[in-house]
């Protein structure tokens, strides 16, 4: 791919991910366009906005040099169709696997990436058979469109199968074995069309009510061979899907090593720390990858970093603005329960400095809303 300068980049979606992609892409001389149903989404002020009608999206593709998307729920057919007009990255195979839990698990299995035992479930009868095969506890998850813990039910006893099936809306699903994990980790990798690949360090993610609250970067006490193992899994996925752009893999760390949970073919909340915390952010590297530029270094700028999501309410941010090692990002969204409206990155030279800063912030922010 020739090195592209001054590209017009189209993003399907106009939320905070699109906003941060544009904020990373403007210094490289690019321009941005977004698709949005309403003109007040977080990215809308950062480029031309197209509505979501087929004609409008087609016009957008005609005016863009390259396109990308914010969500793994973007229809594969739409990406295929727009790709006949202008290149869309990551291309359709990445979406095809990542937006369906059954296909995703089958791919992990094909590539010898360890994952929870699972069975596909299309009706209540299937569910009862799957419970017998996999054992309990187990997690029932809708095959598509689950996020932030939605569309899931943890089944503890066989008597709960009817309740679980109703709770997930009687939709095609997978039942997967419950993994007893020590920590949740994730890795972000990036590949460009010249097959250059870079990997960020494994990070630790802490959730509350199914929503990411805190990322610690890098995750503490990661043995180099565990980092390498995660990179090998990523490499297998990137190559198999001919992926161009950022790919995120969520993993469980267990007594017996890493177990893959799910992947996202996009920039990810667990990579927001990279904006100030890494030599090149996930957003810049995604833009570099899809516009044919060489990828940037992924090494941390300081030994310790953390990313705190601001969820539901802003709380009192005044102290955060006066801390020299803290960076506040607000997405221009109104407060609403369980909504991601901003994040804060903390950089530190020592574990003690990180802990102290997190402790101070937790006193003024509403961290568990």
Work out whether 179 is an interface residue with ligand AMP (CB under 6 A): yes
Say which residues have a Cβ less than 8 Å from residue 69's Cβ, sequence separation at least 6.
Answer: 11, 12, 13, 79, 88, 95, 266
Work out whether 262 is an interface residue with ligand AMP (CB under 6 A): yes
Work out whether 204 is an interface residue with ligand AMP (CB under 6 A): no
Interface residue with ligand AMP, options 182, 207, 301, 336 (CB under 6 A): 207
Interface residue with ligand AMP, options 176, 204, 253, 284 (CB under 6 A): 176
Tell the smallest beta-carbon distance from residue 185 to ligand AMP (Å).
11
Tell the smallest beta-carbon distance from residue 149 to ligand AMP (Å).
4
Peptide bond into 137 cis (omega under 30): yes
Asked if residues 354 and 346 have their Cβ atoms less than 8 Å apart, the reply is yes
Instruction: Quote the CA–CA distance of 39 and 42 in Å, as a whole number.
Output: 9
Tell me the CB-side half-sphere exposure of residue 209, using CA atoms within 13 A: 9
Work out whether 135 is an interface residue with ligand AMP (CB under 6 A): no
Strand residues in the chain grouped as ranges (E): 8-12, 31-35, 48-50, 66-69, 118-121, 138-142, 152-155, 173-177, 183-191, 197-199, 203-208, 211-217, 245-254, 257-264, 304-311, 326-330, 340-348
Interface residue with ligand AMP, options 41, 72, 184, 204 (CB under 6 A): 184
- Residue number closest to ligand AMP, CB atom: 179
Tell the smallest beta-carbon distance from residue 29 to ligand AMP (Å).
36
Which segment (173-181, 275-283, 297-305, 316-324) binds ligand AMP by CB under 6 A? 173-181
Interface residue with ligand AMP, options 47, 87, 146, 245 (CB under 6 A): 146
Binding site for ligand AMP (CB under 6 A): 116, 139, 146, 149, 176, 178-179, 184, 207, 210, 250, 261-262
């Amino acid at each position: 791919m020739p090195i592209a300068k001054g590209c017009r980049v189209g993003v399907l979606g106009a939320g905070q991910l699109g906003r941060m992609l544009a904020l990373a892409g403007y210094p490289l001389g690019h321009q941005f366009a977004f698709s949005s149903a309403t003109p007040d989404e977080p990215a809308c002020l950062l480029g031309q906005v197209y509505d979501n009608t087929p004609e409008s999206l087609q016009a957008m593709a005609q005016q863009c040099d390259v396109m990308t998307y914010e969500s793994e729920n973007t229809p594969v057919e739409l990406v295929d169709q727009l790709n006949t007009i202008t290149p869309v990255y990551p291309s359709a195979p990445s979406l095809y696997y990542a937006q369906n839990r059954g296909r995703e698990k089958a791919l992990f299995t094909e590539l010898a990436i360890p994952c929870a035992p699972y069975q596909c479930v299309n009706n209540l009868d299937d569910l009862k058979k799957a419970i017998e095969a996999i054992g309990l506890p187990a997690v029932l998850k809708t095959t598509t469109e689950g996020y932030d813990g939605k569309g899931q039910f943890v089944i503890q006893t066989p008597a709960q199968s009817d309740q679980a099936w109703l709770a997930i809306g009687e939709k095609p699903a997978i039942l997967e074995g419950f993994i007893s994990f020590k920590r949740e980790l994730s890795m972000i990798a990036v590949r460009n069309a010249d097959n250059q690949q870079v990997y960020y360090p494994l990070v630790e993610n802490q959730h509350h009510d199914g929503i990411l609250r805190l990322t610690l970067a890098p995750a503490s006490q990661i043995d180099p061979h565990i980092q390498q193992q995660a990179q090998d899994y990523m490499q297998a996925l990137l190559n198999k899907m001919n992926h161009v752009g950022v790919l995120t893999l969520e993993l469980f760390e267990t007594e017996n090593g890493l177990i893959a949970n799910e992947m996202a073919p996009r920039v990810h909340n667990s990579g927001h720390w990279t904006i100030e915390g890494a030599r090149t952010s996930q957003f810049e590297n995604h833009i570099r990858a899809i516009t044919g530029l060489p990828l940037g270094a992924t090494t941390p700028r300081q030994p310790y970093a953390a990313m705190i999501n601001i969820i539901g309410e802003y709380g009192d941010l005044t102290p955060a603005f006066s801390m020299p090692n803290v960076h506040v990002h607000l997405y221009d969204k109104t407060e609403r329960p369980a909504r991601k409206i901003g994040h804060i990155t903390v950089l530190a030279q020592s574990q003690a400095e990180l802990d102290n800063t997190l402790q101070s912030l937790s006193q003024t922010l509403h961290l568990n809303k």
